[in-house]
Amino acid sequence: MNTEPLKLIVLTGSDRPEVHAAWQDLRPDLDETNGIEVVGQFSRTEEISGAVHADIVVVLGGDGSILRGCRQLGRYQLPIVGINLGRLGFLAHLTPEEFRGNLEILRSREYEVAECLMFECMHAFVDGGSETECGLNDVTITSASSLRMVDVSLEIDGQPVTTFSCDGLIISTPVGSTAHNLSAGGPILRQDLQAFCVTPICPHTLTVRPIVDTADRIFSLAVGRARDGAMLVIDGQIRREIAAGDRIVVRRAASTFKQVRFPSHSYYSTLHRKLGWRGQLDYRERKGQ
């Protein structure tokens, strides 16, 4: 049995006053007398990649805070547990009270760690330069403020697939499948699947449907006639303009998102609660109607 204190990094992923208030309220429960040692506390702007050794990272905020925290960790991903102080909370799904209720499981290290797909997105500019970002949810090419459709050509492993005439195109991980992908009519993928989903936004051709393919593929996107306002959006947080001739390449990242899961965790229970699923509709006639 491991008798060493559980080492935590705490990431306050938002500047909102309620996030800092929650941290001050939670701080007394996280001390060495309870078998827990806080070895670092970082804001949303600080680099934490490889900065300190820790067992897990506690993120206070919402799903956006976890997406930002993954980028702050960089190649040195640590298991993350999210405390939801936002709205939906698919990733940060614990309330502060539920987190306190699981402290003994954390101390005894009886939690599980699920490894989920992350992506690497390279934006190759027509002038020869490039920029690369890692992300967890999705890569989107969008017409943005142009209010016109864009033509996005897709190749998978160098093989032409089609050119989508649409308002935008999303390449999503399973973790991101319940985000923008879901709003655009894409499928929900279980978070530990190793696959990408390609979902067009409002495609002009009705026969065009989302594509699910293995995560070992390389997805290459290009916009032949990039109108003013066409954008590359990564995890909803990084935005870059796209020019004609630019190429976007999406592939599996070497690192994975490590999510702390407690014995009570159920993915489908989370979907039920967060998406408001209430079971089957009652089609029976009601008396008096």
pLDDT per residue as tens digits for the range 69-107: 998 888 889 999 999 987 777 888 889 999 999 999 999
Residues of the chain with CATH 2.60.200.30: 118-254
Q: Is the dihedral of CA 270, 273, 275, 280 positive or negative?
A: positive
What the block records as the tokens of 171 is 């390449």
pLDDT (tens digit, 9 = 90+) per residue, 29-64? 888 777 899 998 888 777 776 667 899 999 998 899
213 labelled catalytic: no
In angstroms, the CA 8 to CA 111 distance is 14
Topology (CATH) of 118-254: Tumour Suppressor Smad4 (2.60.200)
In the chain, which residues fall in CATH 3.40.50.10330?
6-111+262-274
The domain 6-111+262-274: what is its CATH number? 3.40.50.10330
Q: Averaged over 64-71, what is the pLDDT? A: 91
| Mean pLDDT of the region 247-254 | 97
Pick the catalytic residue: 15, 29, 55, 63?
63
What is the residue whose two structure tokens read 């992350």? 118
Q: Which two tokens stand for residue 158?
A: 């160098």
Sheet holding 238-241, edge to edge: 211-214, 195-201, 168-172, 138-142, 231-234, 238-241
- Of the listed ranges 43-52, 214-223, 243-252, 279-288, the one predicted with least confidence: 279-288
Give the residue among 83, 67, 89, 109 at the shortest CA–CA distance from 10.
Answer: 83
Looking at residue 75, its pLDDT comes to: 86
Provide the pLDDT for residue 101: 92
- The pLDDT, as a whole number, for residue 226 is 67
- Higher pLDDT pick, 14 / 175: 175
> How confident is the model at residue 160, as a pLDDT?
97
